[in-house]
Amino acid sequence: MSKPAAHHAPLPVALADLEAAQTRIASHARITPVLRHEELDARAGGQVFLKAEVLQRTGAFKFRGAFNKIAGLDPAARARGVVAFSSGNHAQAVAAVAQIFGVPATIVMPSDAPETKIRGTRHYGADVRLYDRVRESREAIAAGIVQESGATLVPPFDDPAIIAGQGTAGLELMAQCGGALDAVLVPASGGGLAAGVSVGVKARSPLAEIWLCEPEGFDDWGRSLRAGQIERNIALSGSICDALLAPQPGTITFAVNHALAAGGVAVSDDEVLAAMAWAWRNLKIVVEPGGAVGLAAILTGKFDAGKKRVGVILSGGNVEDAMMMRALSEHD
């Protein structure tokens, strides 16, 4: 059962923010399709609606939040440029939006980020600064760049404008699936996508349960939601789900998800690889490891979709060739 969404203070992001973001990004973001597959429905025992954010600009949902944030900046501030820190999908999104507006972008990325994401970020004209995610603080590095340049920090998740932008995926999902949903499964790192989707989905389908999906060993959201307080991951690396390795939930995202989400689901790296292979063979799309955790939860039965209408966000498709080949070779 989903816990009640009772709370005394208003949440930091509301439906009106998502609707404003939807208007702001409409001329540049794609309305991504919702995919169905009869084999998946039969296997799950319910109806599964897959929101293909892998087909969003820059290959992930992150374009939504980045555009909403940067488009909403004062023009003088925007002209001074933007700074972001990210393992890759937010990096590419910020770089692409900065290119659209013709402003400089500096992106702090971990040195072990997939090369395809580093290359993609540079492709959009950004200055990439690499760091060691175990020994160095990306926040400190970005803060130094902001202080030196006067640029604006565009956070990866813990920002109302970012959350509102990501939440437009939830509004689209509800408009596309033809009725109320019983649950929506969302990949979770810092929790910005889950927070935005929670606001959007529950505005249209109040009884829907929002489940945050994570890799095993990096289930800070599941633990935090159970404990009622922010819990931190011990490890900072070690999963193939590079997009989902934020050390802990954000302050703003936790406030939203603690109020609206039902809980967390954790899946193994091998289960993620199997989901990637299934999506390739059956849906004919590429899903990166972090983007496949919700689908993995359905395929393994870790989330029981029986007799339910369930939405799943396939959040990104930026994956190295070798990782995709591994998924296909290990799960034929």
* Residues forming the active site: 62, 315
Residue 93 to residues 28, 117, 175, Cα–Cα distance (Å): 12, 10, 24
Q: How far apart are CA 99 and CA 219, in angstroms?
A: 35
Pairing assessment for the beta strands 183-187 and 209-215 based on DSSP bridges: parallel
Q: How far apart are CA 277 and CA 256, in angstroms?
A: 33
- How would you class 143 by CB atoms within 10 Å of its CB: exposed for 0-12, middle for 13-18, buried for 19 or more? middle
CA angle 149, 61, 120 (to 5 degrees): 55
Pairing assessment for the beta strands 152-153 and 82-85 based on DSSP bridges: parallel
Q: What is the CA radius of gyration of the chain?
A: 18
Strands ordered across the beta sheet of 127-131: 127-131, 105-110, 82-85, 152-153
CB 191 within 8 A of CB 121: no
Q: How far apart are CA 81 and CA 73, in angstroms?
A: 10
Closest CA relative to residue 194, chosen from 292, 312, 302, 310: 312
